[in-house]
Amino acid sequence: MTHALFNSTTTRHIEQTQVAAGAQLMVRAGLAAAQWVATRYAQDTRIVVLVGPGNNGGDGLTVARHLKEGGYKVKVHYLGSTKAASAPTARALELWHRAGGTLDDSWDEQDDLVIDALFGIGLSRDVPEPVSALFKQIENSGQKVIALDIPSGLDADTGAVRGAALHAQTTLTFIGDKPGLHTAQGQDYAGQVLIFDLDIPPNALPAGDLQLYQPETLPGSLQRRQATHKGSYGTIGIVGGAHGMTGAPLLAGRAALKLGAGKIRVGLLGAGLAVDLLAPELMLASVNDLINQPHDVWLAGPGLGQSDAAIEVLRVLLPRPEPLVIDADALNLLASHTELAQLCKARTTPAILTPHPTEAARLLGIATPEIQQDRLRAASALAQRYGCTVVLKGSGTVVCNGKHLTINGSGNAALAAAGQGDILGGMIAALLAQGMTPAEAARFGVFVHGAAADLWRQEFTAAIGLTASETIDYARKALNRLPLA
């Protein structure tokens, strides 16, 4: 289900407002997490709670106390000085001691379950080396980890790792969901994310800083009337396919066909093919013939290359008023040719840019690691610089149209394979051709692409070996399984 994501500043504001109104959020969080653990782990489970002096540590101490009072064998491993504990955590420490609990200085690898309450959403520095070494020790031991609010060392706003972080199988996050749990390295470290709203009324929450996009119904613009024909669903022109790269635009065209576009023409820069035997519905032509024909939507870039002929294709397409998806080599040409970048910015109809992190770095003139350190900021910067809707691909794909940000809530590592970007471009173009706005087509296309991989992974659990060609059929299946709104 699509829902709001709150950054750390907003989350702290909600927390402070609720506490000022009398809500005992630490008590609620600790009890909720303890009850969740108690319903899933037997009483003979040996549990250690990793605690720090901040409020996240107070949550952990409250969990530890409730579990101990419930008959569990619980240890608390406290890092840092108890004198530095926040006021709520100092109170939780007092209650822990009253319950007969103690603080352990040494780490015990014999425990079965680790509850991570060391660093919360307020982490503002890299994790120090001694703690980093402890994280490695925990992970090497094979102990299961449950994180409270966010895995320690993970940035709640960006999903970047602050030097080191602790991998969790499950994250119990409080008040509301966080962006960093769903993009960059967040999904690898957070595992399954469960949200505990701590009984805060919905009307006490702001709208959210952005959304996790997980639609549950088919958008109305895709629901078909009986009295229609192929022309009702748009004509797409795809340009690319330099010598040796013909497969890329063909994959894009096949994806566009199976996501509902009415007609697709593919213009090839390289030696032309007469027919695509796997998809004879595609109409193939030379690029020069294609770009002089009318189309409802354009896709430029799959296998385009960076030749003078490729540059000329973009010079012709960029000023045109029809919706345009820019992918692959077309993105690299924008990054390296000021004239093309200016033509993109001057468009009256916003284009959709679909870069992976390295392409995004070229477009912004920075290093790839800088993109991954803050993917939300990078997507916003690209949207502003080029006046476009941006699809920043990767784990937790970010979509930004300059006003609104979303993180995609579908997909898995199976999509890390050649040709997946080509079919995503074709899918987005197909949705544009069927009447979606650029932002809607980008968000929904990315979601369906990820949902296809999720559907495939139900059969192939290790997520190894999904090809782009296979993904197309799974995408069509995932799309048609969505109920009508």
If we measure between CA atoms, which residue out of 23, 101, 31, 90 comes closest to residue 63?
31
The annotation status of 421 as a binding-site residue, yes or no, is yes
User: Binding site annotation covers 57?
Assistant: yes
Q: Is 336 annotated as a binding residue?
A: no
Q: Is 122 annotated as a binding residue?
A: yes
* Integer CA distances (angstroms), 286 to 174, 239, 272, 283, 307, in order: 56, 9, 6, 10, 15
- Whether the CB-CB separation of 258 and 250 falls below 8 Å is answered with no
The residues, any chain, with a CB within 8 Å of residue 2's CB and separated by 6 or more, are 211, 212, 213, 214, 215, 216, 409
What one-letter code names the amino acid at 16?
Q
Say if residue 59 carries a ligand binding annotation. Answer: yes
Q: Which helix (H) or strand (E) covers residue 405, if one does? A: strand 405-408
Asked if residue 14 belongs to a known ligand binding site, the reply is no
**Which tokens belong to 12?**
């702290």
The answer on whether 55 is annotated among ligand-binding residues is yes
The whole-angstrom separation of Cα 197 and Cα 180 is 18
292 appears as a binding residue in the annotation:
no
Tokens 């949200």 correspond to 195
State yes or no: 182 annotated in a binding site: no
Tell whether residue 422 is among the known ligand binding residues: yes
Torsion of CA 320, 229, 272, 442, to 10 degrees: 50
Annotated binding residue 146: no
Q: Which residues pair with 192 in a beta bridge?
A: 170
CB atoms within 10 A of CB 467: 15
| 149 is an annotated ligand-binding site residue | yes
Contacts of 64 (CB under 8 A, 6+ apart): 47, 49, 51, 74, 76, 96, 101, 115
Question: Binding residue per annotation — 99?
Answer: no
102 known member of a binding site: no
Q: Which two tokens stand for residue 40?
A: 């899933």
The verdict on whether residue 232 carries a ligand-binding annotation is no
Q: Is 248 annotated as a binding residue?
A: yes
Q: Cα separation of 276 and 265, whole Å?
A: 11
Question: Which amino acid does the sequence have at 242?
Answer: A
Tell whether residue 408 is among the known ligand binding residues: no
| Total number of residues shown for the chain | 485
393 is in an annotated binding site: yes
* Nearest-angstrom CA–CA distance, 43 and 248: 56
List C-alpha distances in Å: 31 to 61, 106, 122, 198: 11, 26, 22, 10
Tell me: is residue 121 an annotated ligand-binding position.
Answer: yes
- Is 126 labelled as part of a ligand binding site? yes
- Binding site annotation covers 221? no
Q: What single letter denotes the amino acid at residue 477?
A: K
Q: What is the DSSP letter of 309?
A: H
Label residues 448-461 b or e (16+ Cβ within 10 Å = b): bbbbbbbbbbeeee
177 annotated among ligand-binding-site residues: no
* 116 labeled part of a ligand binding site: yes
Q: Which residues are annotated as a binding site?
A: 55-59, 116, 120-126, 149, 152, 248, 303, 356, 393-397, 421-422
Binding-site positions for K(+) read 56, 116, 152
Point out the annotated binding site for (6S)-NADPHX. 55-59, 120-126, 149, 248, 303, 356, 422
Q: Per the annotation, where are the binding residues for AMP?
A: 393-397, 421
